[in-house]
Structure 1
Amino acid sequence: MTPKNPGHRGGFRAPTAAGILLLLTLAGCATGTTAAPGAGAPPSSSVISPAATAPAPSSATAAQTSTAAATPPAEAVAPPAQQLPAVLGASAPVTLSIPSIGVRTDLLHLGLEENGSLQVPEDTGNGAPAGWYSGSPAPGERGPSVVLGHVNALGGHKGVFADLRKLAPGAEINLSRADGSTAIFTVDHGALYPKNEFPTLEVYGNTPGAELRLITCDGYDPATGLFDDNYVIYAKLKA
């Protein structure tokens, strides 16, 4: 995370471009009708004049066409509606616990900085709690809920998300919510990304079900005192 205190090693930093894209994807503006950057424009429909390309029909062909036109078409059967995964109602998260790595933390509520990048939890000397990005869905709502946490703490101590790499697929992550319910997620996988190649849409883009993203820093460089990478846990709602 980007240090806000002297002597704190550099860490999580959301690129400004990522923050700007967050405003689009999380607000529901990514409708899927616009071509993705770098993917090129969608193919345009070719209009071909039948009179210029098709031969004149023979008398036999015309008779067959007339017969076919007189036969009523079979009733079209509409495809079944896609069943979306069940989700929970909106309720802000209060605490997060990950039993398999001994983590339990109250959750701050974080917004965006003026430059569009994500705020990060501030370490005042005793380690910082994790923080939920309040512009993302609440844990259990449809879409990816985003929680950030430091990998280290002042004084050389471990940060709240220091052991995210130890999480294996199937591990449970519990988020208690303000309405008294608990959203339980299971880990799907983890992924390491260079900060200058952070896949914003993959991490923050819309999902059909309720999902969770835990984000911290990785790739510490002793020469610069900074972290060059981000580590992301992807999890899906269990109950």
Structure 2
Amino acid sequence: MTILFASDLDRTLIYSKNSRGTEVEEQDLTAVEWVDEKPTAFMTKKEMEYFHKLSPEITFVPVTTRTASQYNRITGIFKPSEKPTYAIVSNGAVILENGKPLTEWSDKVKKQLQIDCTTIEHVMPQLEAYVKKEFVLRVLHAESWFVYMIIDEKIFSVEELENLSQIFHEQGFTLSHQGRKLYIMPNCINKSTALQFVKERIQAKTVIAAGDSMLDYDMVMSADQGYIPSHGEAVKQRELLPPHIFVTNNSGVLAGEEILKKVCEYLL
């Protein structure tokens, strides 16, 4: 029996200094990502132990909004011989198989973006009215797939988020606010659909999924067993969750540790 464990990375399994919380001592952490030789993302040492204790029956598939190059910076989790065969990056626009993009999948996504009129070329003119607003610090592209904004959280209001969400929802986008980033994601680029493709490709019978944001929500809901960190955006906007969804008791990096402990216990 093949069990597929699909998990978001940032703010689910790995954490920056700003998102990891204050309940953990520095000596209990281990770095998993470095930028310019400086550690930028962490797990607890106990969490790392749980990760390497996952049953051989469980196939781990990272599912992230990071681009492939950003994903490849995370070198502290996997032993060289144990890097996952599959990884879903760019929020589902790209599926890596042994480190290389599956063109059959990405070509399908590109075609759907054109049909839905949700390409970067379509969305940028609609953003012109917002990029000059005080809360927008920068507007960035994730390769050729989607747009996200770096915002000033101190002056970005709930009302602004609700207004933007309504406007772009009507045009085929999902908005997700994650810390300093505001993603404007075409609906055809999603983790759930990409994960279904991988599930069928490896003929998995059971899916376990974990994620914190609204970009993870459908993926977690459609799994046989789902986990959401208690600090997650997906929890805050959904009061009634089905029985197969577990919300962690802990927040920050300890939530990641709790999730991996639960996954380790799944077959016991």
Asked if Structure 1 and Structure 2 have the same fold, meaning a TM-score greater than 0.5 normalized by the shorter chain, the answer is no
TM-score after normalising by structure 2? 0.22
Higher helix share: 2
